[in-house]
Amino acid sequence: MQSFIGVLFDGFAYGMLLFLLSVGLSVTLGMMNFVNLAHCSFAMIGGYVAVVLTNSLGWPFLATLPMAFVAAAAVSVVLERTLYRRLYRASDLDQCLFTIGVVFVSVAVAAYYFGTVQQPINTPPYLRGSVELAGVSFAVYRIFLVVTALLITAILVAALEYTRFGAQVRAAVDNPRMARGLGIDVDRAFAITFALGGGLAGLGGALAIDIIGLDHAFAFTYLVYVLIVVAVGGLGSIGGSFLAAALIGISDMAGKYYFPWLGAFLIYLVMVGLLMWRPAGLFGKR
Amino acid sequence: MLSTRNLDKSFGSLVVAQGISIAVPRGERYALIGPNGAGKTTLINLVTGMLRPDAGCILLGDEDITALRPDARVKRGLARTFQINTLFPHLSALESVVLAVLERNNQSRAWWRSLPRYGEAIEEAYSILESLQLGAQCHRLTRELAYGQQRLLEIALALATRPRVLLLDEPAAGVPKDESAELFAAISNLSAELTVLFIEHDMDVVFRFASRILVMVGGRILVEGTPQEIARDQRVREVYLGKRQHAFA
Amino acid sequence: MASASRHLAARIRWRWIESAFWLATLAPFVVTPAYLSLASQVAITALFALSLDLILGYAGIVSLGHAAYFGFGAYTAGLLAKHYWGEPLTGLLLAGVLTGIVGYATSHIVVRFRHLALIMLTLGLGLLLHEAANSASRLTGGADGLQGVTVSPLLGFRFDLYGRTAYAYSLAVLFLCFLVSRRIIHSPFGLALRGIRENLVRMPAIGAPSLAHLRKAYTIAAVMAGIAGALLTHTTSTVSLETLSFGRSADVLVILILGGAGRLYGGIVGAIIYLVARDQFSGINPQYWYFWIGLLLIAVVMFLPNGILGGLGALYKKSR
């Protein structure tokens, strides 16, 4: 019987995973209002890259993580340059439909090449098992996940606050028209942010395999959770995504553990309730 | 006819309106001028209800409308146009004005009779468009109209609500000189019973139509007076340093 | 002037091609009697798509959870038939009314949102109802669906395996609802909805109570979706959890966009093409089906933004 602390920690770790998967979408949505429902396809790419590298090519797990990031980032750059940029002025509905189409295609391609089974991943022995702290056992992998996520959050926040690029991103999120007027190349900033966001999703996808598994439908299954995190946290807000992801992760874990008959009901209720109270999300603009 | 008392509005630390108290008597044409960012459109948004003031009240006639929703204010006779054309791109000019007329008559709730059966509303819409020289274009989609015609359609939509007070937000904005004749005619032909407050940067329009001018700077009313008084006012000249000086000669 | 009215009237006249279309819908009885159950499915889905068109194509409400009303109608009809009485017509009406009440209640929340928040909210409400139905398995049968639904004959005609009664029933209801929708679209209310879709900001400025209009449209759409769901229950004598799923919401959205939103016939055209194609390719692995649908969506958004009917309309205009 896992203690309350244990459930809380597991939920928080799950939330950190959701954060990595969602933060890119939140910022790009906030910057360009571009509804990219295919965001989780980038996560899937990262996951499958990690799988192929460890299982087929024998790479050590940790080495695959940066590759997952890079691969997903590269694909997102290509997608953005070729297809997405034509849709920046399009309506919400069109962007929705287009990116849903991309999701469908990516799911089918994944099924074609990798089948519909869960992908196994060889996590290194030093990341398996658990440690005992104050009578509660914590899975080593989850600790690793939390540490990685917090590290990345710190880097993101620092980059946003202290670098010139970060200032440009903040300006572009706050008021894209004004930022353009000030001479900021919003399109370039967006492309870079989009690539970073996609890369982070890819990293998240690779990290996710051990916790929530990877199959061809990943892009769809977790899309809902990512959207919930983004909507609840507020568009364009790293802090909002962090908080929302933690909230959703903990609620989901706690819900499934303490109220299993509720199923996924709880987080949907949380989302609907929160949106009604704050339509722009916890930290969204307007 | 239209008055406000001590309207205040801030967005965080940005004060966009402070202690605005104006009074526009019935049938008068008042102009509201001021540099960009002075808060003129904000004032219109406050009066029409698109923004809620932090303090102060708005009176239409004798009625306090501060708590009313925007569409309720329109029903009481307060109409406005927008600085940037805010029209219905895929509706024809006629359909747009007919919609406004039907809304006014509370007929837009009807779903069981087809539109062409509302002959009176259609006729009224057509005559409004005709009075603004848009009759021939009435079946064209709004997005296919020339810019100047769209500006006129803005006014047509507002007139269709049979307002007592009309707020025009830069009616001449962006209209090229060769299309402005119809616009000036439209403003001249506005009923003498109608109370008009318009924002304008184009001083030709201001001096031609306004009986009194309000100058707004930094969220406050700087000064109020007749066109001649305003032209001579030292403070106004300072605010407008660099603008078209010949209008003040 | 009177000519202006006549001009408007001319645009909404009933065209001969429409009569031809509706006559053609009778063809399956004679030409392809083996496919009557597919034809029923098409009619039901067409009605569902039509209900979505009212809010999406005409009022501009992007809903990713419209299946909530379809499923609610389906379950209501199923529970009525199972526990109370199996007469289809009264069941249909009751399902429609009850779904309308739910639609009215939820409309108060939904119409206050736009953009992402609206998409998320409708998605969330749909998922909520799906989960609730899944959990309430004593009532709904949960993931196994509702069993033991017995539907009485319709006006004396049994629902047989050939599907004749089913198709006649579905087609008749579709046609009636279509006529009602047509009435609504061409009325002042329909014009108001289009105004909302075209420019929401302008509406209050001409004295329009936009939210009240939207609530009404949303309720009507919910009633129609509920009726479509009830039709499914009556013609198949089962209710599955799938009727409330996100998959069904997404499918109907694809169908409507494929046919062309805001064109009254778009949902019907889309349903015909989508379901017939799916039936033809039913041997294929579902993954590959979604691959082509994905490509199709991408292609439609890029090249045919107004769907098939929009594309045909543009071709027609160019040829004149």
pLDDT tens-digit map of C25-82: 888 888 888 888 899 999 999 999 999 999 999 988 999 999 999 999 999 999 998 8
Judged by 3 or more CB pairs under 8 A, whether C touches A is: yes
Whether B116 and C6 lie within 8 Å, measured CB to CB: yes
| Min Cα–Cα distance to chain C from A49, Å | 21
pLDDT of residue B17: 86
Mean pLDDT of chain A: 85
Interchain pair C297, A216: CB under 8 A: no
Contacts of C302 in chain A (CB under 8 A): 86, 98
Distance in Å, alpha carbon of C204 to nearest chain A alpha carbon: 20
> Is some CB atom of chain C closer than 8 A to the CB atom of A94?
yes
Q: What average pLDDT does the segment C99-124 reach?
A: 90
Question: How many B-C residue pairs are in contact by the CB < 8 A criterion?
Answer: 130
Size of interface A-C (CB pairs under 8 A): 115
Calculate mean pLDDT across residues A213-240: 85
Please answer whether residues B109 and B88 qualify as being in contact, where contact means their C-beta atoms are separated by less than 8 angstroms: no
Is the Cβ–Cβ distance between C250 and C296 less than 8 Å? no
Instruction: Provide the Cα torsion A215, A218, A222, A227; round to 10°.
Output: 170
Q: Over the stretch B134-158, which tens digit does the pLDDT of each residue have?
A: 888 889 999 999 888 899 999 999 9
Q: Which chains touch C (3 or more CB pairs under 8 A)?
A: A, B
pLDDT per residue as tens digits for the range C147-190: 888 888 888 788 777 788 889 999 999 999 999 999 999 999 99
Smallest CA-to-CA distance from C250 within A127, A220, B35, B18 is with A220
3-class secondary structure, B224: strand
Phi and psi angles of residue A279, each rounded to the nearest 5 degrees, phi first: -55, -25
C190 part of contact set with chain B, CB < 8 Å: yes
A26-54 mean pLDDT? 86
Asked if this assembly's ipTM is beyond 0.85, the reply is yes
Q: Does chain B touch chain A (at least 3 C-beta pairs within 8 Å)?
A: no
Question: Of chain A residues 16-35, which have a CB less than 8 A from chain C?
Answer: 29, 33, 35
Q: Phi first, then psi: what are they for C261, rounded to 5°?
A: -80, 155
Are B161 and C9 a contacting pair at CB < 8 A?
A: no
The closest CB to that of C131, out of A33, A101, A265, belongs to A265
- Which residue type does C72 have? F
Cβ C186–B95 below 8 Å, yes or no? no
Contacts of B113 in chain C (CB under 8 A): 187-188
DSSP 8-state assignment for residue A126: G
CB proximity under 8 Å: A 242-261 to C: 261
Which residues on adjacent β-strands are paired with residue B216? Answer: B221
- Among the partner-chain residues B87, B94, B161, the one whose CB lies closest to the CB of C199 is B87
The neighbour count for residue A137, using CB atoms within 10 Å, is: 14
Structure confidence at residue A285 (pLDDT) = 65
C297 neighbourhood in chain A, CB within 8 Å: 97-98, 100-101, 104
Report whether pLDDT(B245) > 60. no
pLDDT at B241: 61
CB burial readout A18-51, b (16+ within 10 A) else e: bbbbbbbbbbbbbbbebbbbbbbbbbbbbbbbbb
What are the pLDDT digits (tens) for A127-167? 788 888 777 788 888 888 899 899 988 988 888 888 888 88
**Looking at the complex, does the CB of residue C188 fall below 8 Å from at least one CB of chain B?**
yes
**Between chain B and chain C, are at least 3 CB pairs below 8 A?**
yes
Residue A82 with chain C: CB contacts under 8 Å: none
- Res C106: pLDDT: 93
Give the containing element (helix H, strand E) for B23.
strand B14-24
Q: Are the beta carbons of C188 and B71 separated by less than 8 Å?
A: no
* CB neighbour class for B112 (10 Å; exposed up to 12, middle 13-18, buried from 19): exposed
Which helix (H) or strand (E) segment holds residue B42: the answer is: helix B40-48
Residue B21 main-chain phi, psi, to 5 deg: -130, 110
C-alpha–C-alpha distance, residues B193 and B162, integer Å:
11
Q: Mutate which of B45, B90, B122 to test chain C, going by most C C-beta atoms within 10 A?
A: B122
**Residue B249: per-residue pLDDT:** 47
Owner of token pair 């440009």: A168
Interchain contact, B108 vs C199, CB within 8 Å:
no
- Least Cα distance to C44 among C156, C141, C172, C152 occurs for C172
Record the tokens describing residue A247, joined without a space.
């909230």
Query: In this predicted structure, what is the pLDDT of residue B181?
Result: 80
Q: Are C219 and C100 in contact (CB under 8 A)?
A: yes
The shortest C-alpha distance from C235 to chain B (Å) reads 30
* Nearest-angstrom CA–CA distance, A43 and A225: 13
Helix (H, G, I), strand (E, B) or coil at A132: strand
Mutation target to probe the B interface, by most B beta carbons within 10 A, among C8, C219, C223 is C8
Ranked by mean pLDDT, the top range of A165-169, B2-6, B164-168 is B164-168
Q: How many residues are present in chain B?
A: 249
Q: How far apart are the first and last CA of chain A?
A: 44
How far C4 CA sits from the closest chain B CA (Å)?
7
Query: What's C154's DSSP letter?
Result: B
Residue A109 contacts C, CB cutoff 8 Å: yes
Give per-residue pLDDT as tens, C268-302.
999 999 999 888 877 777 777 888 888 988 888 88
Neighbours of chain B (3+ CB pairs under 8 A): C
Q: Which amino acid is at A123?
A: T
Containing H/E element for A130?
Answer: strand A130-133
Looking at the complex, report in whole angstroms how far the Cα of residue A138 sits from the nearest Cα belonging to chain C. Answer: 31
- Closest residue in chain C to residue A92, using alpha carbons only: C115
From C124, C134, C298, residue closest to A271, measured CB to CB: C124
B-chain CB neighbours of C206 within 8 Å are: 74, 79, 99-100, 103-104, 157-158, 160-161
Residue contact A92–C135, C-beta within 8 A: no
Cα separation, C254 vs C297, whole angstroms: 7
pLDDT tens per residue across span C192-224 = 999 999 999 999 999 999 999 999 999 999 999
Q: Exposed e or buried b for every residue in A57-93, given b needs 16+ CB within 10 A?
A: eeeebeebbebbbbbbbebbbebbeeebbebeebebb
Residue C2: is its pLDDT beyond 70?
Answer: no
Query: For strand B212-217 and strand B195-199, is the pairing parallel, antiparallel, or unpaired?
Result: unpaired
Show the DSSP H helices in chain C as ranges: 2-11, 16-24, 27-30, 36-53, 67-83, 88-110, 115-135, 137-140, 164-185, 188-198, 202-205, 210-236, 246-259, 266-280, 286-303, 307-319
Query: Would you put residue A234 in left (φ > 0), alpha (ψ -120 to 50) or beta?
Result: left
Tell whether the model's pLDDT for residue A36 goes beyond 70: yes
Percent of chain B whose pLDDT exceeds 70: 96
- Chain C residues whose beta carbon lies within 8 Å of the beta carbon of residue A113: none
